[in-house]
Amino acid sequence: MQLKSFAHAFVLIAAGYQAVDAAPAAAGLKIGHHTTIIHGKMTTLGHHHKTKTGPTKTHAPVGPAPTSAPPPPANPSVPASCHLTKYSKSAVAAAVSSCSNIILDGLQVTGGETLDLSKLKAGANVLFRGTTTFEHANWQGPLVVVSGSDITVDGTGATLDGQGALYWDGKGSNGGVTKPKFFALHYATRAKVTNVRLLNSPVQAFSINGCTDCQIINPTHDNAAGDNAGGHNTDSMDIGASSNVIVSGAKFHSQDDCVAVNSGVGITFTGGSCIGGHGLSIGSVGKADSTAKNTVKNVVFADSTVANSQNGLRIKTIAGGTGSVSGITYRNIKLNNISNFGITIQQDYRNGGPTGKPTTGVPISGVLLENVSGDVTSGAAQVNVLCGSSTSCSGFAFKNVALTGGAPKENCSKFVSVCAAL
């Protein structure tokens, strides 16, 4: 069942890849170079692409799961030293330092070592093929780090397997065994990461940090297996200290935040699907080590769904913290089966449970919710807004927000006029 639905998702992802690629101007960002690798890859996807235009597309045979698909032919323009089929730290380092086109083909990465793509040449292209497996080791990770300028990473049809089940103990990053973080895109500029699929992260999956003008297109985080098996703090994507980042077409199933924007400016998350987890989040904001890391500005979540999750939309600032949150838009969001709060905005966050006493050091200003619909469970509340003062929450607007089920509200701050209507 699971495999089937992911095979289906793969077809959609493959089609989405081309659709997004065809409209770079709309994204307002420079699109990475189109190399022979990418063209070779596109050719292999031609079959899926064709099905997109014909009326028979949705009924066309889906074919085998991506992991068992035959590998695309090797690109003859990539020398053997740039096409790795066996992992070693030194071989990866050599390829990274000398190759503009790198193929990582079914690698088994040694436990306790990072697949280190942090020193990619400017304009380099990395292609994952087959299944990359990360051997078990109790360490911090990350399992993969990517960094550079004008780089592309393409994971179409490939899987990166973190073997989460070997770590899950219900304690996540708050205790238990040490668990590696998974995929870091750090200090990248004009990076384009397409169709990267992370399977079973030990803890947090994608980390986007220190990035400028980056696009993450059709990322997948499949941690469904962790739902009843001790997966915890398995955030699908955490974004921090970044500017002008677009995440489109995400398919995330986790046991913590679907997306958490902890700091940064100009972050867009669109066309995403969140299952399990804690919802589309800002924060928690307020306890980082610098002002920049306690500032979140101009974030849009649009055209997305959140299902079977604790929360739908969530803004959390830390009790006693300092910083600011401004210009947050949630538009065209569909919620389903939300067990805690459909919408929660809280200035009393604390890891392990809210204090119940909101503070004012992280003002939240300019929050627009537009066209948000769906249902919460009978024990849940549709809205919870806990603000410290009339100035710490300002400029809130709810337009066409229509949720059903549960209680209409738990707390809704006397300082926020939208609460009066609920």
Ligand X SMILES: *[C@@H]1O[C@H](CO)[C@@H](O)[C@H](O)[C@H]1NC(C)=O
- Stretch binding ligand X (CB under 6 A), from 9-17, 141-149, 237-245, 331-339: 331-339
Select 32 or 321, whichever has its Cβ closest to ligand X.
321
Any contact of residue 138 with ligand X (CB under 6 A)? no
In angstroms, give the least distance from the CB of 349 to ligand X: 10
* Amino acid in the structure at residue 419: C
In angstroms, give the least distance from the CB of 350 to ligand X: 11
Select 138 or 371, whichever has its Cβ closest to ligand X.
371
- Stretch binding ligand X (CB under 6 A), from 4-12, 111-119, 278-286, 327-335: 327-335
Binding-site member from 52, 121, 186, 334 for ligand X (CB under 6 A): 334
Query: Torsion over CA of 168, 170, 174 and 175, rounded to 10 degrees?
Result: -70
Any contact of residue 270 with ligand X (CB under 6 A)? no
In angstroms, give the least distance from the CB of 307 to ligand X: 7
143 CA to centre of own chain: 16
In angstroms, give the least distance from the CB of 74 to ligand X: 43
Any contact of residue 354 with ligand X (CB under 6 A)? yes
Select 187 or 398, whichever has its Cβ closest to ligand X.
398
- Stretch binding ligand X (CB under 6 A), from 30-38, 129-137, 290-298, 334-342: 334-342
Any contact of residue 308 with ligand X (CB under 6 A)? yes
Binding-site member from 329, 371, 389, 394 for ligand X (CB under 6 A): 371
Active site residues: 278
Residues making contact with ligand X (CB under 6 A):
308, 332-334, 337, 339, 354, 356, 371, 373, 384, 386, 410-411
